[in-house]
Amino acid sequence: MIKKNRLSVLLTLSISLLLLTACEKAITEEPVGRPSTSSTKTTTISNPEVNTALSSADKVIDTQTSRDNTPVCLETTAPGTASDGNDLAVIDYSNYKDGYIMVNYLGNCGKVKLLITGPDGITNKYDIKNGLAAFPLTAGDGKYEISVCENISGTKYSVAYANTLKLTGISEFGPYLHPNQYVYYNKDCKVITKGANLAAYCNTDLEVVTNVYDYITQNIVYDYEKANTVASGYISDIDEILESGTGICLDYSAVMTSMLRSQSIPTRLEVGYVGTDNPVYHAWISVYIEEVGWLNGIIQFNGYEWSLVDPTFGASTDPKTLKKYIGDGSNYEISHVY
């Protein structure tokens, strides 16, 4: 069990999408390494799974507490009951109430973008390829402008297909419980089984977040070479990341988000800027705990709530430098949510 009067844990959960190397450089003003235990107290839940390799994730172990740790991997489908398109792209919004649409690009252009502008005015941009893929509706009810654009040359694109949909009744948590292009997983992923085993000894969702965070920060090492060479449009292979034990910011986040969503804990992958003098393009996650709502805006766990859970920074940065860089949470500015 978590003891409320013992906990003060500096945490942050980050992912760089574009300036991956800049993200790491920005916090290395002082030597970085494993977070020091002298200035912070850490949460310990008796669970041998936290210190075992991914190879132990062959089957879901029996629940050791009253909390059900059975993975729930919601599927995204395109039944065709509500769809539109042309000979270049088809959008299936049959399941929009669950918080996602399916897009199928049918053309032969090698570089294609999907733009989704929600009722909040924010435009989320995706690289897409041939074949069906799920994309979240993160702005709630209202008008969504959807465009599939083909690259002409350089940074110039032409609109291959566009549509405006007025959607109502969208699930509040649906976008953050389903897999999508950025956070792709299914019931056969070892990461999902591992997440269930990390949850097996937990009584609450908050304890699940603790165990998942501890496991990821202890078992994934930041891959600087990959960060320097990663291409635009990169998508994490979550099983490969845990098997190799290395990854970049986006990998840390995708693994943690996959584990938490499959444990029925709504989790947002948020992208924006972090820092003060020279902010960098970055990303992190927020989680929803029923007793307290969405946890964000702070960076300490005080025994009641978490926010800005950042396994990348947590795994590689000492608490003093981390606190100096991210401040009280106000240094985070959200641009997109996935």
Q: What percent of the chain has pLDDT over 70?
A: 73
pLDDT in tens, 109-167: 999 999 999 999 999 999 998 899 999 999 999 999 999 999 999 999 999 999 999 99
pLDDT in tens, 168-215: 999 999 999 999 998 999 999 999 999 999 999 999 998 898 888 888
pLDDT at 330: 61
- Which domains does the chain possess? 4-72+182-337 (3.10.620), 83-176 (2.60.40.10)
pLDDT at 308: 45
Vertex 226, ends 56 and 17: CA angle to 5°?
95
Residue 2: which pLDDT band, with cuts at 50, 70 and 90? very low
User: Is 275 within 8 Å of 25 (Cβ atoms)?
Assistant: no
pLDDT at 88: 97
Residue 318: which pLDDT band, with cuts at 50, 70 and 90? low
Measure the CA–CA gap between 245 and 282, rounded to whole angstroms: 21
Q: What is the 8-class DSSP label of residue 41?
A: B
For residue 71, is pLDDT > 90?
A: yes
pLDDT average, residue stretch 273-302:
68
Phi, psi of 144 (to 5 degrees): -120, 125
Q: What percent of the chain has pLDDT over 90?
A: 46
pLDDT at 321: 53
Greater model confidence, 39 or 95: 95
Kindly report which listed range (10-14, 88-92, 156-160, 211-215) carries the lowest average pLDDT score: 10-14
pLDDT in tens, 205-256: 988 988 888 888 788 888 888 878 878 778 889 999 999 999 887 788 889 8
- For the ranges 69-83, 116-130, 281-295, the maximum mean pLDDT occurs at 69-83
Write down the pTM of the prediction: 0.79
DSSP string over 200-227: TT-SSHHHHHHHHHHHHHHH-EE-HHHH
For residue 302, is pLDDT > 90?
A: no
Among 130, 145, 289, 313, smallest CA distance to 209 is for 289
For residue 40, is pLDDT > 50?
A: no
pLDDT at 240: 94
pLDDT at 30: 30
pLDDT at 15: 29
Residue 56: which pLDDT band, with cuts at 50, 70 and 90? low
| Residue 3 CA from chain centroid, whole number | 27
Vertex 127, ends 86 and 239: CA angle to 5°?
120
For residue 84, is pLDDT > 50?
A: yes
For residue 294, is pLDDT > 90?
A: no
The rounded mean pLDDT for the chain is 78
Neighbours of 270 (CB within 10 A): 24
Residue 32: which pLDDT band, with cuts at 50, 70 and 90? very low
